């Protein structure tokens, strides 16, 4: 090795490393985009290709992602609503404006906390389950088995989860809206001695369709993120059981990070 | 049914035809120009040591991987020219029994076997049940349809995987290491099953294995792979009679004694070998 090569070595290696990481990153983004595209493709073209996306598979996933998440989503929404009421009354009492707390609760719950809490919960429940399922199936050659049986794995495994998520995320978020607002209302009614019905009529006056849509649109976006991050991690599993554990954890961490960051950008772009 | 003679075998139609197949894993060349064929109703065993490329070759034969170069036709169709729909349609005519079974753990054995029928046919539930039971009879697993894969032993799992592989009555059947992890008696039973499938159903069968006893028991022809190249294709008798030292070493389980070439050793250490292979 010449002296010049020896000097360039570490820099060249660093540049190569950056290049390789960039390539991997671009590859992952491309893979995720392909997953979304293929899911849509099979939904539209599946029947013509002899590979329809089965309704019962979607319903199964809707049960798993949505219906079974109702108790925990309800509990957390109630707690978040109450927490917002407690903090809101405390903060507004500085200005003697406790009665305005309804505004804070209404906007925060519907525009922000409901989609965010629902997204984080679904990422923890279903994003991890999806990553683990796809990971185990990859290791056990079950994905290969589907392919050689002439069954497209995206159509069979990903598309049902994607559609179930697109349907159930807004539903769960709407439920979370109602229960969160109710939680806030219960505390406000107790603390400020306002009737619950007066609180509700205030809420209905304050919240516009735009506020509601803002939260629901975000939840759909979060749902798509949860599915593609779960599947991409699961499909990229390496090693045995340890690998599945790693991709499951990674899927949850990445989903939650992606949800919070996307939330910030969405809020910035839509609110300003 | 007795084994067909080599002449008779070679007069039959080709169900798999591979010409000069080259494939890379990342930048490393795995298969270095493979040419082989499999004839109708033949049991072709692909053998080779670890790292010889036999599993990679099998993945290509099952059309799960795309080659860097070369031609391959499956059941008379050039797989590089197939549309997506045609590829899926072709795959319905092949069956695969994976090494670990690859049965879906969330489904019962019966549901696993019925899955291809459910996805590709309009048969009613009752007919699918009957067909699943029929295939379970073929592999001597009658009555096991309601168990989950985790409740089956290793040998049963492999036989259940065979039942799923043959449920669409494929023309071509692949086995990946059927005897691996099984005791000799169970392995022999599986060999018998493979012979029965060829004789009774006229299937062409490709078996990848490193088990010599099993290979010689079932093979009509053997393809011997070594370091990504074909060492020899021939009947078990031709294989045994070969005077190629590498084949004899593999058949007699002798450790390869290489003459120490200092230059080659240095090239391996400095990684020059790999860069040449990449080229």
pLDDT of residue B154: 87
Q: What is the average pLDDT score of chain B?
A: 87
pLDDT of residue A4: 54
d(CA B50, CA B252): 15
d(CA A221, CA A38): 17
B119 φ/ψ sector (left φ>0, alpha ψ -120 to 50, else beta): alpha
**Interface with chain B: mutation pick from A46, A135, A148, highest number of B CBs within 10 Å:** A148
Instruction: State whether B64 and A150 contact (CB < 8 Å).
Output: no
Mean pLDDT, rounded, for A76-90: 95
How large is the angle between the packed helices A70-93 and A159-192, nearest 10 degrees?
A: 40
CA distance A148 to chain B (A): 6
- Domains in chain B, CATH or no CATH each: 1-93+170-230 (3.40.50.300), 99-166 (no CATH)
The SS3 assignment for B53 reads coil
Which positions in chain A touch B95 (Cβ < 8 Å)? Answer: 148
Q: Judge residue A48's burial from the number of C-beta atoms within 10 Å of its C-beta, 0-12 exposed, 13-18 middle, 19 or more buried.
A: exposed
CA distance A151 to chain B (A): 7
Instruction: Please tell me the least confidently modeled range out of B97-106, B121-130, B263-272.
Output: B263-272
Q: pLDDT above 70 covers what percent of chain A? A: 97
Instruction: State whether B116 and A140 contact (CB < 8 Å).
Output: no
The answer to whether B115 faces chain A, any CB pair under 8 Å, is yes
The model's confidence at residue B254, banded by pLDDT at 50, 70 and 90, is low
Taking the domains of chain A in order of start, what are their residue ranges?
Answer: 3-271
Judge whether A184 and A174 are in contact, CB under 8 Å. Answer: no
Query: Strand B14-25's sheet: what is its strand order?
Result: B28-39, B14-25, B69-74, B77-78
pLDDT of residue A228: 94
Instruction: State whether B91 and A50 contact (CB < 8 Å).
Output: no
Instruction: State whether B84 and A49 contact (CB < 8 Å).
Output: yes
Which positions in chain B touch A50 (Cβ < 8 Å)? Answer: 85, 88-89, 120
pLDDT of residue A108: 94
* pLDDT 10s digits, B65-74: 888 999 999 9
Give the chain B residue whose CA is nearest to the CA of A134.
Answer: B104
Which positions in chain B touch A152 (Cβ < 8 Å)? Answer: 88
Give the chain A residue whose CA is nearest to the CA of B114.
Answer: A149
d(CA A52, CA A43): 7
Judge whether B172 and B75 are in contact, CB under 8 Å. Answer: yes
Q: What is the average pLDDT score of chain A?
A: 91
- Please determine, for the modelled complex, whether the ipTM score is greater than 0.90: no
* pLDDT 10s digits, B40-55: 999 999 998 888 888 8
Judge whether A75 and A173 are in contact, CB under 8 Å. Answer: no
- Chain A: which residues have CB within 8 Å of chain B? 49-51, 136-137, 140-142, 144-145, 147-152, 156
CA distance A141 to chain B (A): 5
Interface list for B 172-211 with A (CB within 8 A)? 174
User: Is the pLDDT score of A64 beyond 60?
Assistant: yes
CA distances in angstroms from B90 to B93, B117, B170, B245, listed in the order given: 6, 15, 10, 40
Instruction: State whether A149 and B91 contact (CB < 8 Å).
Output: yes
d(CA A123, CA A127): 4
* pLDDT 10s digits, B192-226: 999 998 988 889 999 998 888 889 999 999 999 98
Among B29, B17, B9, CA closest to B79: B17
Provide the b/e sequence for B20-40 (b: ≥16 CB within 10 Å). ebebeeeeebbbeebebbbbb
Instruction: State whether B64 and A137 contact (CB < 8 Å).
Output: no
* pLDDT 10s digits, B76-112: 899 888 888 888 889 989 999 998 889 999 899 999 9
Instruction: State whether A50 and B94 contact (CB < 8 Å).
Output: no
For residue B62, give the H/E element and its range.
Answer: none
* pLDDT 10s digits, A113-149: 999 999 999 999 999 999 999 999 999 999 999 999 9
Give the chain A residue whose CA is nearest to the CA of B84.
Answer: A49
Interface A–B counts its CB contacts (< 8 A) at: 63
CB-nearest to B96 from A140, A148, A151 is: A148
The SS3 assignment for B20 reads strand
The answer to whether B64 faces chain A, any CB pair under 8 Å, is yes
């Amino acid at each position: 090795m010449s002296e010049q090569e020896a000097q360039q070595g570490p820099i060249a290696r660093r540049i190569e490393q950056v290049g390789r990481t960039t390539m991997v990153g671009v590859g992952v983004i491309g893979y995720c985009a392909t997953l979304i595209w293929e899911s849509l493709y099979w939904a539209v073209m599946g029947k013509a290709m002899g590979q329809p996306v089965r309704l019962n598979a979607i319903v199964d996933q809707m049960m798993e992602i949505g219906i079974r998440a109702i108790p925990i989503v309800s509990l957390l929404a109630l707690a978040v609503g109450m927490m917002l009421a407690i903090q809101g009354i405390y903060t507004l009492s500085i200005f003697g404006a406790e009665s305005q707390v309804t505004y804070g609760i209404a906007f925060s719950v519907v525009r922000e906390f409901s989609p965010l809490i629902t997204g984080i919960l679904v990422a923890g429940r279903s994003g991890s389950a999806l990553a683990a399922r796809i990971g185990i199936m990859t290791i056990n050659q079950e994905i290969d088995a589907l392919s050689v049986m002439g069954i497209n794995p995206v159509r069979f495994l990903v598309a049902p989860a994607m559609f179930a998520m697109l349907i159930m995320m807004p539903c769960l978020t709407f439920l979370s809206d109602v229960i969160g607002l109710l939680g806030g209302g219960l505390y406000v009614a107790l603390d400020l001695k306002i009737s619950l019905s007066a609180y509700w009529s205030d809420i209905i006056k304050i919240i516009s369709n735009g506020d509601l849509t803002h939260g629901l649109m975000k939840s759909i976006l979060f749902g798509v993120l949860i599915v593609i991050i779960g599947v991409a991690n699961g499909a990229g599993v390496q090693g045995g059981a340890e690998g599945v554990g790693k991709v499951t954890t990674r899927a949850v961490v990445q989903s939650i990070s992606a949800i919070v960051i996307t939330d910030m950008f969405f809020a910035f772009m839509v609110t300003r | 049914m007795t084994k067909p003679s080599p002449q008779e075998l070679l007069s039959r139609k080709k169900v798999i035809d591979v010409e000069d197949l080259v494939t890379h894993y990342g930048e490393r060349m795995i298969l270095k120009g493979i040419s082989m064929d499999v004839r109708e109703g033949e049991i072709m065993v692909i053998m080779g040591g670890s790292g010889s490329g036999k599993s990679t070759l099998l993945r290509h034969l099952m059309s799960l991987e795309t080659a860097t170069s070369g031609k391959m036709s499956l059941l008379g169709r050039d797989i590089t020219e197939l549309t997506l729909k045609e590829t899926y349609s072709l795959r319905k005519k092949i069956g695969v029994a994976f090494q670990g079974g690859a049965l879906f753990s969330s489904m019962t054995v019966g549901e696993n076997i019925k899955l291809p029928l459910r996805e590709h046919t309009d048969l009613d539930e009752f007919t699918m049940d009957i067909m699943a039971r029929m295939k379970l009879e073929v592999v001597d697993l009658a009555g096991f349809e309601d168990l989950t894969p985790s409740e089956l032993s290793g040998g049963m799992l492999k036989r259940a995987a065979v039942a799923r592989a043959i449920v669409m009555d494929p023309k071509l059947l692949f086995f990946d290491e059927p005897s691996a992890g099984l005791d000799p008696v169970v392995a022999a039973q599986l060999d018998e099953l493979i012979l029965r499938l060829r004789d009774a159903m006229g299937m062409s069968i490709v078996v990848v294995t490193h088990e010599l006893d099993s290979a010689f028991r079932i093979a009509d022809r053997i393809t011997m792979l070594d370091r990504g190249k074909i060492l020899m294709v021939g009947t078990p008798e031709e294989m045994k009679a070969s005077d190629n030292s590498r084949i004899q070493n593999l058949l007699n389980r002798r450790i390869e004694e290489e003459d120490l070439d200092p230059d080659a050793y240095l090239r391996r250490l400095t990684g020059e070998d790999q860069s040449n292979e990449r080229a």
